[in-house]
Amino acid sequence: MKKLLAAAIVVASASAPAFAQDEVRTNFSGPYVAGMIGYDNVRVGATGVGSGHDDGLMYGGVIGYDINLGGAVFGLEGEYADSETKDGVSDVFVPGDFVGLKAGRDLYAGIRIGGEIAPNVMLYGKGGYTNAKVKAVYDDGLVSVSDSDELEGYRLGAGVETTMSGFTTRVEYRYSSYGKYRDTGIDFQRHQVALLVGYRF
């Protein structure tokens, strides 16, 4: 009986550090992957003409790495997204003409800075570089041409994230600006609201 009791104590003492390690797992720290789906609003504007906009669905994936320093979270992330959203404006160069842009794949790389506001809840801001592929169309009634191009710009955003047992969920708003398209005076912007669900390793 004494030998059995001694063996139980040894096993319990050996298991205790492992249980303790699980309990003290740091939230919002380490590598993660996530799937993404959301709302995409594309806006095309031209100086002196005004702007148009269209809504659509965006989807993709994210990978990243965070470091939690006493509740302050610093991270890097990369994203691949795609969208079927398109938009256009008329009367840009001559009366009756039309310029359209159709959104394609979007690559993003940036940083996140956040803070835990409650157990398992973090607010954060983000910013970085974005590269979007678009298909441009121009039609003035006599000539119609189309071409694919890549637009470079910046993205700013903010969101809230929750985590439980390694699984993470977040909702964020993002604004992206790609400047003037080929010095034509036509600018391309997008507003997005995304839901991300993933796992932190």
Domain that holds residue 190: 27-200
Give the domain CATH number at 121. Answer: 2.40.160.20
pLDDT tens column, 138-167:
777 776 766 777 889 999 999 999 999 999
> What is the rounded CA–CA span in Å between residue 2 and residue 135?
79
9 inside domain: no
* 143 belongs to a structural domain: yes
pLDDT tens, the chain, 201 aa long: 444 344 444 444 444 444 344 445 678 999 999 999 999 998 876 655 555 667 889 999 999 999 999 999 999 999 999 987 766 666 666 677 777 777 789 999 999 999 999 989 999 999 999 999 887 777 777 767 667 778 899 999 999 999 999 999 999 999 999 877 666 667 788 899 999 999 999
pTM to 2 decimals?
Answer: 0.75
- In a domain, residue 103? The reply is yes
Rounded to an integer, what distance in angstroms lies between the CA atom of residue 16 and that of residue 22? 10
User: Residue written as tokens 């609003």?
Assistant: 41
How many structural domains compose the chain? 1
- Classify residue 83 by its DSSP letter: E
Three-state SS letters, the chain: CHHHHHHHHHHHHHHHHHHHHHHCCCCCCEEEEEEEEEEEEEEEEECCCEEEEEEEEEEEEEEEEEEEECCEEEEEEEEEEEECCEEEEECCCCCCCEEEEEEEEEEEEEEEEEEEEECCEEEEEEEEEEEEEEEEEEECCCCEEEEEEEEEEEEEEEEEEEEECCEEEEEEEEEEEEEECCCCCEEEEEEEEEEEEEEEC
Is residue 166, in this structure, part of any structural domain at all?
yes
Give the integer Cα–Cα distance in Å for 27 and 35. 19
**Which residues, in sequence order, are CB contacts of 161 under 8 Å at separation 6+?**
28, 114, 121, 122, 124, 168, 169, 170
User: Residue 38 pairs with which residues in a beta bridge?
Assistant: 58, 194
Q: Is residue 17 part of a domain?
A: no
The three-state secondary structure class of 110 is: strand
- Whether residue 98 is contained in a domain is answered as yes
Flag whether 2 is in a domain: no
Domain assignment of residue 10, yes or no? no
Backbone angles phi, psi at 22, to 5 degrees: -65, -40
